[in-house]
């Protein structure tokens, strides 16, 4: 089954047709910078541009940086506040002229890793953390997703965790990998105390450089880099839209 998977990030919106049986990209991914301000109308137009780029007329799955319930955005951390209460699925469907399913972006990445990547076949408590503009999380219990955890907004030392430990924070503050790893480790230790995960999967763009910081972490849980790396969001978004291809 072929679904267009779209991953909306703080700096870029990328997409590619996905084979949902294998997780493979069927064409080279296309990336468009996220419109300044990330307002609904502008982001919807960008999603439509992606669909046109691939001459796409079928179902689209979108990973979106917000808690999502029935296609509606409940939060807006790294996007414009006017998204709150917006039916994102309807907005994107109208702009692209295709049926659209929307899921939290970290949940999308988690689904991809649990289906095709580092979490495949793993039972118990599995926690995926995407590290990029913010910190996204996806929590699985015996393979079942607990959606919209949004644990990047836990308060640590009086600040949102993602303000201290995201890759954007590392770059903004000019931190060395060693100093940043201490902040990431503190965040992961907090999650470990709360959820006692059996496995922690670290994803997002920074996962491509995992050898720079993974050995510096002290959490007791097994910690591994995401196997799908920065493609996980697109793949997982496509997976969540499979029912649309059968008229669901």
Question: pLDDT (tens digit, 9 = 90+) per residue, 25-69?
Answer: 999 999 999 999 999 999 999 999 999 999 999 999 999 999 999
Average pLDDT over residues 94-100: 98
What's residue 78's pLDDT? 78
Claim to verify: residue 93 and residue 128 sit in the same structural domain: no
Mean of the per-residue pLDDT values of the chain: 95
Compute the distance between CA of residue 101 and CA of residue 65 in angstroms, rounded to an integer.
Answer: 14
In a domain, 109, yes or no: no
Task: Write out the two tokens for 63.
Answer: 């990973």
Claim to verify: residue 126 and residue 166 sit in the same structural domain: yes
Q: How many domains are contained in the chain?
A: 2
Claim to verify: residue 202 and residue 238 sit in the same structural domain: no
Compute the distance between CA of residue 49 and CA of residue 173 in angstroms, rounded to an integer.
Answer: 34
Compute the distance between CA of residue 226 and CA of residue 126 in angstroms, rounded to an integer.
Answer: 12
Whole domain around residue 26: which residue ranges? 2-104+231-245
Distances in whole angstroms, Cα of residue 44 to Cα of each of 35, 124, 159, 160: 10, 37, 31, 28
In a domain, 171, yes or no: yes
In a domain, 155, yes or no: yes
Higher pLDDT, 129 or 248: 129
With cut-offs at 50, 70 and 90, classify the pLDDT of residue 74. very high
Average pLDDT over residues 120-143: 96
Average pLDDT over residues 131-150: 95
Q: Which residues contact 8 (CB under 8 A, 6 or more apart)?
A: 34, 43, 47, 62, 63, 64, 65, 105
**Rounded percentage of the chain residues whose pLDDT exceeds 70:** 99
Task: Write out the two tokens for 216.
Answer: 């510096």
Claim to verify: residue 11 and residue 79 sit in the same structural domain: yes
What's residue 246's pLDDT? 65
Compute the distance between CA of residue 211 and CA of residue 195 in angstroms, rounded to an integer.
Answer: 25
Average pLDDT over residues 207-225: 95
What's residue 247's pLDDT? 60
Claim to verify: residue 214 and residue 236 sit in the same structural domain: no
In a domain, 16, yes or no: yes
Average pLDDT over residues 170-184: 97
Residue 231 has pLDDT above 80, yes or no: yes
Residue 226 has pLDDT above 70, yes or no: yes
Average pLDDT over residues 164-180: 96
Residue 248 has pLDDT above 60, yes or no: no
Average pLDDT over residues 178-206: 96
Residue 245 has pLDDT above 90, yes or no: no
Pairing of strands 2-8, 12-19: antiparallel
**Taking the C-alpha atoms of 60, 64, 70 and 74 in order, what is their torsion angle to the nearest 10 degrees?**
-160
Distances in whole angstroms, Cα of residue 85 to Cα of each of 82, 89, 136: 8, 12, 20
With cut-offs at 50, 70 and 90, classify the pLDDT of residue 9. confident
Residue 115 has pLDDT above 80, yes or no: yes
In a domain, 161, yes or no: yes
Task: Write out the two tokens for 97.
Answer: 């002229």
Average pLDDT over residues 150-173: 95
Claim to verify: residue 185 and residue 219 sit in the same structural domain: yes
């Amino acid at each position: 089954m072929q679904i267009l998977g779209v991953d909306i990030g703080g700096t870029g919106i990328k997409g590619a047709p996905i084979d949902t049986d294998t997780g493979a990209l069927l064409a080279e991914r296309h990336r468009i910078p996220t419109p300044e301000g990330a307002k609904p109308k502008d982001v919807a137009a960008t999603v439509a541009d992606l669909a046109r780029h691939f001459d796409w007329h079928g179902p689209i799955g979108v990973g979106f940086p917000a808690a999502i319930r029935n296609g509606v955005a409940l939060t807006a951390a790294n996007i414009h506040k006017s998204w709150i209460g917006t039916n994102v699925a309807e907005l994107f469907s109208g702009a692209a002229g295709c049926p659209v399913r929307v899921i939290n972006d970290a949940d999308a990445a988690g689904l991809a890793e649990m289906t095709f990547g580092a979490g495949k076949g793993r039972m118990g408590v599995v926690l995926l953390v995407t590290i990029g503009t913010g910190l996204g999380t996806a929590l699985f219990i015996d393979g079942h997703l607990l959606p919209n955890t949004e644990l990047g907004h836990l308060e640590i030392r009086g600040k949102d965790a993602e303000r201290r430990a995201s890759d954007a924070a590392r770059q903004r503050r000019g931190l060395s990998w060693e100093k940043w790893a201490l902040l990431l480790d503190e965040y992961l230790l907090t999650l470990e105390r709360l959820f006692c995960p059996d496995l922690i999967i670290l994803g997002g763009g920074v996962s491509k450089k995992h050898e720079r910081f993974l050995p510096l972490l002290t959490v007791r849980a097994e910690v591994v880099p995401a196997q799908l790396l920065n493609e996980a969001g697109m793949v997982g978004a496509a997976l969540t839209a499979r029912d649309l291809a059968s008229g669901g």
